[in-house]
A and B are shown apart, each in its own frame.
Chain A
């Protein structure tokens, strides 16, 4: 079974540019989560999508946005890039079960973004 896939694997942008990152969840998973991990730091939650809708948003500026498509794949958009946006962007998918207390997330390999 294919895991979570992300594209591109690496990206170099300059300040002020815009970037779109893509994620395909595990087949059958309806939830997609986006995280940011700056070098040497922990994971910061960015956004959560489920069934095509944004369900929750982390403490991130409005220039971070995204969407989820009918096939459950997702895009993360970052506008007006800043130097501190340089990080590994991780996507995770899970199957949201109603009343579930355990919901396991599986991560893709990430997209490394460098902002110059």
Chain B
């Protein structure tokens, strides 16, 4: 089982639609969670951190369910500029004491259509 799993998509939605992405992680000791966005042939950019109580940033809402080890990202009123690959990212503690690293899901591709 992969440490971080995402539905690869692609998701093709019309402008104005609401779309939701899901992600599951395998390590219950994970403490930090993020959504990154990666445009074609570009570097990943932080979209938002995900907090236990859930958080919202404009049209974007992130939720965390620790019991189910599940993270979600909801995008409302989709724009053409939202077309990208969305990466679910989890900070998974390693065996090396305080060593930490981010593990990236393989990403979910979104295309918003005019």
Contacts and interface: CB of A to CB of B under 8 A. Distances in A.
A90 B31 contact: no
Contact of B44 (A41, A45, A56, A90): A90
Contacts, number: 51
Contacts of B107: 42
A48 B101 contact: yes
B32 A56 contact: no
A101 B44 contact: no
A109 B99 contact: no
A95 B41 CA distance: 26
Given A103-B91, A108-B43, A109-B43, 13 more contacts: A35-B104, A42-B106, A43-B87, A43-B104, A48-B101, A56-B94, A101-B31, A102-B31, A102-B32, A104-B34, A104-B49, A107-B44, A109-B42
Interface residues of A, number: 22
B42 A42 contact: no
A15 interface: no
A55 B99 contact: yes
Contacts of A110: 43
Given A109-B43, A110-B43, A103 B100 contact: yes
Contacts of B99: 48, 55-56
Given A43-B44, A56-B96, A105 B102 contact: yes
Please name the 4 residue pairs, one residue from A and one from B, whose CB atoms are nearest each other, closest first: A42-B106, A107-B43, A43-B104, A56-B99
Interface of B: 31-32, 34, 41-46, 49, 87, 91, 94, 96, 99-107
A56 B96 CA distance: 8
Contacts of A105: 46, 102
A45 B103 contact: yes
A108 B42 CA distance: 9
A72 interface: no
A55 B45 CA distance: 23
B100 to A, nearest CB: 7
21 contacts: A35-B104, A41-B106, A42-B87, A42-B104, A45-B103, A45-B104, A48-B101, A55-B99, A56-B96, A58-B101, A102-B31, A102-B49, A102-B91, A103-B32, A103-B91, A103-B100, A105-B46, A105-B102, A106-B46, A107-B44, A109-B43
